[in-house]
Amino acid sequence: MVKQFMSLEWKQFKRASYFQKGLAIKILLVLGAIYFGGLAILLGGGMFFILRKVLPEVDPIISINNFLVYWMLFELMIRYFMQQLPVMNIKPLMLIPIKRNTVIHYLLGKTTLSFFNFISLFLFLPFSIVLLAQGYPPTNVILWFVSLMSITMSLNFINFLINKSNTVFYVIAPTLIVLIGLEFYNIFKISEPVGIVFNALYNNPVFVIIPILIMIGMYYVNFKFIRKGFYLDDTVSKKVKEVNATDLSWMNRFGSIAPFLKNDVKMIWRNARPKQVMMMSFFFLFYGLMFYTQEIYMEMPAVLAFASMFITGGFLLSFGQLVPSWDSEYYKMLMSQNIPYRKYLESKWYLMVVAVTVSFILSTPYLYFGWKIFAMIAAGALFNIGLNTFITLFGGALNRVPIELNVKAKAFSNTNGFNPTQLLIALPKMVLPMILFYIPYKLINFNAGLLVLALSGVLGIVFKSFFLNKIEKIYQKGKYKTIAAFSEKK
């Protein structure tokens, strides 16, 4: 039976339209997977030595045990936002004589092959090997590793429950938030008892039985949960959500673009994919930490200019590049309606401007790194508002890949809304601020670089209607092609 399921899956995979897209994308995806996999392996292998260097007085295994709770939280969060749950096409399976239990076991088994389970494996396997090579007791290390893997699996199953059951979500999410808050303000450090638990796991290999039992328990709970809801209108198929209607009439003050703006806000709020993009763009805010903390980058202001643009540009880059695609599901309707393209584009423009502004406000803590850095972020934000928005909208006109709004993007298996043109158009978005900053910086000085970067943005704002007109023309020219591409069945 399982063999037949596998062959169905394989066909689904092979015949899916995204698989039949260009070779270039496939190569890129494989490279991406190798890159991140390799990064994880390197990090896992190097972690021991890094920890020994940073915290010489503590045994690396103890430091890592103390940190594990953060990793688990991080993993759970990433899973919640990124992991695509296996929604099998159960309708045809319900009518033919297969035991329900077989289908469910298969469904759950499939989740164990998720990319997200391999991150942990890639991280902790090399780490454990290094431990062994360093002469740590094999039983302890191996069983500790088994414990971690069991916990990863448990997280995998917990994530399924969180996603599928509102009760579980409303219990777990606030608990986590409270715990993180307490930890952050040093009221109660949950990481300490958890650290003790992990250390105990390492020191007493017998305890490995506990995570394994938890994993089996979680599997069982999931099994029960799905078994109960194994009907078309339940768990395994799509979920019907009750509407949370918010009054957005205050947005009417935006005049003629208000209807679009209101719609866009609802679109982002009520669909899985744009929500995910929102979440991702939030992470961009922390991008600066990677650069501003490193001495070497301080000598490379062009790189800093790039990083500063990134901090406020998260939403702009990730949302903006898919601009007409967000409306692909009902594009035909928009095109037959009494809609000025201009207003449609303008609404998207405002959305991006608001996002950049909010990111800029949120980035004020970067003041910690000094005024110079903050001025750079400000210049980057101006560039984003004034030029990057238009480049992004222009790039969107060349992007004709439909998006399924209410489906999360799968890591490394879904290229919906992604094509090589986007990569090409992404280049100027990233290189341009570097050039704009670097040339005057080299010729005159640091402040001149800042000024040029900021001025380029201001110029963009001044010539807003000129740019929008040009972009509108391009969108109009591609109208039929876009409609045809968007109505292609996935």
Q: Judged by CB, which is closer to other proteins: 115, or 254?
A: 254
Tokens at 252, concatenated: 């009417």
Burial class of residue 169 in the structure, from the number of CB atoms within 10 Å of its CB (0-12 exposed, 13-18 middle, 19+ buried): middle
Nearest CA to 69 out of 153, 176, 217 is that of: 176
**Minimum gap (Å) between residue 258 Cβ and other proteins:** 8
Torsion of CA 112, 114, 117, 123, to 10 degrees: 140
**Minimum gap (Å) between residue 488 Cβ and other proteins:** 11
Kindly list the residues in this chain that would bind other proteins in the complex (CB under 8 A). 240-243, 245, 258-259, 262-263, 266-267, 270-271, 329-333, 335-339, 405-406, 480, 483-484, 487
Q: Judged by CB, which is closer to other proteins: 113, or 243?
A: 243
**Minimum gap (Å) between residue 422 Cβ and other proteins:** 23
Q: Judged by CB, which is closer to other proteins: 405, or 453?
A: 405
State the Cα–Cα distance between residues 183 and 201, nearest whole angstrom: 22
Residue with tokens 């003041």: 367
Burial class of residue 243 in the structure, from the number of CB atoms within 10 Å of its CB (0-12 exposed, 13-18 middle, 19+ buried): exposed
**Minimum gap (Å) between residue 3 Cβ and other proteins:** 35
Q: Is 155 helix (H, G, I), strand (E, B) or coil?
A: helix
Helix and strand element counts for the chain (H, E): 24, 0
Q: Is 442 helix (H, G, I), strand (E, B) or coil?
A: helix
Q: Judged by CB, which is closer to other proteins: 201, or 351?
A: 351
Q: Judged by CB, which is closer to other proteins: 168, or 335?
A: 335
**Minimum gap (Å) between residue 468 Cβ and other proteins:** 17
Q: Report the amino acid identity of residue 217.
A: G
Tokens at 21, concatenated: 């897209």
State the Cα–Cα distance between residues 329 and 314, nearest whole angstrom: 24
**Minimum gap (Å) between residue 340 Cβ and other proteins:** 9
Could you list the beta-strand ranges (E) of 97-191.
Answer: none
**Minimum gap (Å) between residue 480 Cβ and other proteins:** 5
**Minimum gap (Å) between residue 270 Cβ and other proteins:** 4
Q: Judged by CB, which is closer to other proteins: 146, or 258?
A: 258
Q: Judged by CB, which is closer to other proteins: 271, or 321?
A: 271
State the Cα–Cα distance between residues 369 and 297, nearest whole angstrom: 13
Spatial neighbors of 237 by CB under 8 A, at least 6 apart, are 87, 90, 91
Q: Judged by CB, which is closer to other proteins: 357, or 406?
A: 406
Nearest CA to 93 out of 80, 103, 105, 108 is that of: 103
**What stretch of H or E contains 263?**
helix 258-270
Tokens at 431, concatenated: 């290189």
Q: Judged by CB, which is closer to other proteins: 20, or 338?
A: 338
**Minimum gap (Å) between residue 474 Cβ and other proteins:** 16
